[in-house]
A and B are shown apart, each in its own frame.
Chain A
Amino acid sequence: MPRLSNAVLLRAYGISPLLPLVLRGCRELPSAINELRWLREHVRSENKSRDTRLLSRKLLELCRRRAKGEPLQYLLGTQPFGELEIKCRPGVLIPRPETEAYTTHVAEILLSQHGKGPLEPKTNQNSLESLNVVDFCTGTGCIALLTNSLLSKRFPRVNVIGVDISSHALALANENLAHNLKDLNADKASSRISFEAGNLFSDLKHPSFHSFSPDVVISNPPYISEKGFNTETTRSVRTWEPKLALVPAITLERPDCAPEDIFYQELLETYSTQKSRMMLLEIGDSDQAMRVAKLAVRIGGDCKVQIWRDWPDQEAPPEAPSMVRIEVQDGSKGSLIHRDILVKGLGKARSVLVLWGSYIDLLHPPSADGTDPPESLDWETTWEKD
């Protein structure tokens, strides 16, 4: 990690003596200015006392902790997620803005199709337009809660289940359910949400999961490799967030699958045999996106695959590829087949969407021209604040 230059630290000090501390934790001056403001507001709203010396001491204490890299979200105890406020604490992964972006986008897509018929699931013939959603590896419960909150605005029946292996995570998810009750249309008997303990690698075969046949599966599972954990995560993530949430802990021998991809394989194998319609999987980078897309094509059966970037609702510049070509072994014959996959959104590759059945016609545009798309995703945009 590059050292902060003295000039920057001095400039920060000139603005506020507390700022260099915050800057050590968050590394960027504009962010540090905002963070210091939020810390100050937090101290003021948490303490009834008007004793300014006490308040300054508390603020100083928080800034010192921030300097050691402790995430702001753990210091403040919350992170906004869409219209919700999600409680955060050590032991459970902090919700990320990219996760918020695709969760919102999935909900918007489903809402835009509401009332057009085919979204009525087969699983529940007599309850029109009900929707079953499962959020595997739910952590704070953020994805499950936001999905429920957005969908229950229009769908008369939404059932969401969040599953996690960690008891810390489940306890926090339930607290978050209580914390956001007013946004969840909880008064609607038809909108249900619950959190359950489960290990993806053993409990998926459990009858209680079998009886809940999801239309939509969303998952942000651990996806970082051991090596990536040591070299690509920031110090704050490494030291403060749970490794269980970041690096797949089970190293089953899977010859055809990288260790950091095993959650995807398991989810795809399980849900492509059930009657799911849509699966959204968060991934770490474009290489992983390509690997997961191939997995989906190979084991997902009759499906269509898309790759979404960080901000899937934003239009990418024309120079960004809107299609990518992948090649996979055709299982039965062993010959190579290729598939062209739609890529959309602005930023870096962030998630893989898999569609089955009627959702394909609804949500997947027919492929356009005949030109061959590129075979890599190497294209990215950044916008730096000026």
Chain B
Amino acid sequence: MFGAPWICRRCLNASLKPSKRRLIRLASTATSHVAFSPALLARARSMAQEHEKLSKETAESFDAKIAKRIGELQGVAKALKDWEDTQSSLAELNSLLKDATTDAELRELAVEDLASTSAELNTISHNLATSLTPKHPFADLPCLLEIRPGVGGGEAALFAADLLRMYRAYCSKKHYRVSVLKYETADGETNGESPLSEAILEIETRGAYGDMRSEAGVHRVQRVPATEKQGRTHTSAVSVLVLPSIPASGSEGQDISEADLNDPTSDYYVSPADVRTDVMRARGAGGQHVNTTDSAIRLTHIPTNTVVSMQDSRSQHQNRAKAWQILRSKLAQSRREAREEAAIKVRNSIGASKMGRGDKVRTYNWGQQRVTDHRSGLSVHNLDDVMDGGDDLEKIMDSVKSWLSDKEIEEMMAEEADSGLNKTTK
């Protein structure tokens, strides 16, 4: 059973209603261009203007906040400029072709040019669309990666340990700082091959959430377990959760300000009054009479009944701090999810058909040495390299990221069209 399987709603509200869905064809799949709604173009232009204005301002005096905003706008400004340049050269070429006085040789060149520029426009439009999709609010944060075995008993627990190894290898290759926040095995052993009952990996590098978020979902394994005498292939599953890692109040250099952590309306706020702490109680008289080593902590967020328990460390103090960190992450995530769900309900014309929490995102097939991602559809045939966190894993992750980005573009455009429609009908 899955404890609290989680899947990024954004990643998965993939299929939009057919009527709105093909509002625009994307460059990667289409022969025709991305067609931007006037509203979307207007938005891009106003962002580019803001970029220009702020750039002028900082030329005179430096302000960290403004500099940050400029950074955010830069992508759009550049993509828009490319797009407009391409549009105007297309217009030029077209008028050249329309013009009866254009001589034959020039006309031929123009035709060639037109073909290549149109092709370029596809990429450029796609870039513009990507730069306009709102960045995930947690994208710059570090993250927690939670791995739990699902159906499949001991084999699932073994595969969970394999996945943990895979992600650790991937992170070390990317030079991410990681630490194991929680590691629970079925039998208390921590060495090598022991089956895992739950692990939480903290990836402390900023932006890790953005990189890892599309790994969330159910990962399925098909192989012959070591314990299987008849040599039959079993299918088991492991769920992966990706949570934003919320810095403890008072830590510096983070994207979340102290104010956010103390603001009751923020996603990151947890009121201590809502959290019950349970500790292991020594039997008998306690105090000097006994010298137990219990350091387990269990936190319960009463309004949502979210429970986090932690017993890895000998230090109760540390277990408490880690439990709080995980609790904060879980609550921030579920609040965001809840808001997204509400937003989807509001604009139900889009009616995102949700993929269930239990839907599989990827299959690892030992017999065929194959890994297939069910979202991007990409298969690679170098399973060992994937499990070693190698280039093939990155290839799959990249394919999911561009799949996800396409989905988000579609969603954004549909949304934009929707709001445009609403405006005109009012």
Q: Which residues of A contact B (CB under 8 A)?
A: 15-16, 19, 26, 30-31, 33-38, 40-41, 71-73, 76, 79-80, 82-83, 93-94, 96-98, 100, 220, 222-224, 228, 232-234, 236-237, 241, 245-246, 282-285, 310-311, 314, 347-348, 350, 381-385
Contact = CB atoms under 8 A, between A and B. Distances in A.
B293 A34 contact: yes
A269 B283 CA distance: 34
B190 A224 contact: no
B188 A83 contact: no
B138 to A, nearest CB: 29
A284 B282 CA distance: 13
B306 interface: no
A350 B281 contact: no
11 contacts: A26-B293, A37-B189, A72-B293, A73-B291, A96-B288, A97-B316, A100-B316, A232-B289, A233-B290, A237-B291, A347-B281
Interface stretch (B64-72, B272-280, B348-356, B358-366): B272-280
Contacts of A224: 288-289
Contacts of B382: none
A233 B289 contact: yes
A385 B293 contact: no
> Which among B187, B190, B289, B316 has the greatest number of chain A C-beta atoms within 10 A?
B289
B318 interface: yes
Given A16-B188, A220-B288, 9 more contacts: A33-B187, A37-B189, A40-B189, A72-B293, A73-B291, A98-B287, A233-B289, A234-B290, A284-B288
Interface string B329-359: 0000000000000000000000000000000
A347 B277 CA distance: 12
Interface string B277-319: 1111111111111111111100000000000000101111110
A325 B173 CA distance: 66
Interface of B: 187-191, 277-296, 311, 313-318
Contact of A237 (B191, B289, B295, B318): B289
A98 B292 CA distance: 11
Contacts of B291: 71, 73, 94, 96, 234, 236-237, 241
A314 B272 CA distance: 11
Contacts of A232: 284-285, 289
A9 B162 CA distance: 30
B316 to A, nearest CB: 6
Given A38-B314, A80-B313, A31 B293 contact: yes
A348 B286 contact: yes
A37 B284 contact: no
Nearest to B315: A80
A16 B185 CA distance: 12
A40 B288 contact: no
A284 B280 contact: no
A234 B277 CA distance: 27
Given A15-B188, A97-B295, A234 B318 contact: no
Nearest to B278: A383
A283 B285 CA distance: 11
Contacts of A381: 281
A6 to B, nearest CB: 19
Given A34-B311, A80-B318, A232-B284, A237 B290 contact: yes
Contact of B286 (A30, A223, A245, A350): A350
A31 B292 contact: yes
A171 to B, nearest CB: 21
Contacts of B289: 224, 228, 232-234, 237, 284
Given A234-B284, A383-B278, A82 B317 contact: yes
B190 A385 contact: no
Contacts of B288: 93, 96, 220, 222-224, 233, 237, 245-246, 282, 284
Contacts of B295: 34, 80, 97
Contact of A80 (B279, B282, B314): B314
Contact of A15 (B187, B278, B293): B187
A8 to B, nearest CB: 15
A134 B311 CA distance: 33
